[in-house]
Chains A and B, each alone.
Chain A
Amino acid sequence: SQELEQSPQSLIVQEGKNLTINCTSSKTLYGLYWYKQKYGEGLIFLMMLQKGGEEKSHEKITAKLDEKKQQSSLHITASQPSHAGIYLCGAGVYNQGGKLIFGQGTELSVKP
């Protein structure tokens, strides 16, 4: 079965620093989603990538999907306390339309 591994599991950075979170799949990814979850709340959609080599940016967050479609990275530039939370990568499963599988999450803390 397909699995998603996220690294690191947790991250503490100083405000203003850049950081990268990785998501690796055991199989080819069919739609890769990045979400952010604040403790005790729901998931906020950030970005979705589908094509190998695709890159998308929104404000200070950039997500990339590698050419082989097995690895994605989320990069935050000049981090702020508002970026703190749990980042989850999710992916569609081939031939199981609708179902998303998720990584374990990366907990980000930003020190002012």
Chain B
Amino acid sequence: NAGVMQNPRHLVRRRGQEARLRCSPMKGHSHVYWYRQLPEEGLKFMVYLQKENIIDESGMPKERFSAEFPKEGPSILRIQQVVRGDSAAYFCASSPPWAGGSQETQYFGPGTRLLVL
């Protein structure tokens, strides 16, 4: 069973360009989570999605950032008009459907390291 896949692993963008980060969850996992790890900072929650639904986007910056998890295909984190401050490692995690209302363990991908020049 392959783990959580993320691509690209490294992404370089110039200021003003768009960045698209992709995440394929583990087989059988219908919940996807995105986190950001800024240099010298901890890991911060961004958004939680289920297929075709955004459940919690309380950690997403209000502008330029969006996320989706379509019925078919990977989850996408999209950053428009990137700025230098967006440079960070972006991690995706996935979990199986929750059983009995209890949170399931999140399994993380290798991350995408975004560098904005």
A and B are interacting partners: yes
**A residues in contact (CB < 8 Å) with B:** 30-31, 33, 35, 40-45, 48, 50, 88, 90, 92, 96-105
Is B108 positioned at the interface, with any CB of A under 8 Å from its CB? yes
**B residues in contact (CB < 8 Å) with A:** 4, 6, 31, 33, 35, 42-45, 48, 55-56, 58-59, 91, 93, 98, 102-103, 105-111, 113
By beta carbon, the residue of chain A nearest B48 is: A98
CB <8 Å contact, A45 and B107: yes
A36 to B110, CA, bound (A): 12
Pairs A-B, 9 closest by C-beta atoms: A98-B48, A43-B108, A42-B110, A102-B43, A42-B108, A99-B45, A104-B42, A92-B103, A42-B111
Kindly list chain A residues whose C-beta atoms are within 8 Å of the C-beta of B55. 97-98
CB <8 Å contact, A45 and B91: no
Q: Between A and B, how many residue pairs show CB distances below 8 Å?
A: 61
Kindly list chain B residues whose C-beta atoms are within 8 Å of the C-beta of A88. 42-43
CB <8 Å contact, A98 and B33: yes
What are 13 A-B contacts defined by CB distance under 8 Å? A35-B108, A42-B91, A42-B111, A43-B93, A45-B106, A48-B105, A88-B42, A88-B43, A92-B103, A99-B45, A99-B58, A102-B43, A103-B42
By beta carbon, the residue of chain A nearest B6 is: A42
CB <8 Å contact, A45 and B105: yes
Given contacts A97-B103, A98-B56, A99-B59, contact A42 B109 (CB under 8 A): yes
Kindly list chain A residues whose C-beta atoms are within 8 Å of the C-beta of B93. 43
- 10 additional A-B pairs beyond A43-B93, A98-B56, beta carbons within 8 Å, are A42-B4, A42-B110, A43-B43, A43-B108, A45-B105, A97-B48, A99-B58, A100-B45, A100-B106, A102-B44
Kindly list chain A residues whose C-beta atoms are within 8 Å of the C-beta of B42. 88, 102-105
CB <8 Å contact, B31 and A98: yes
Kindly list chain A residues whose C-beta atoms are within 8 Å of the C-beta of B110. 41-42
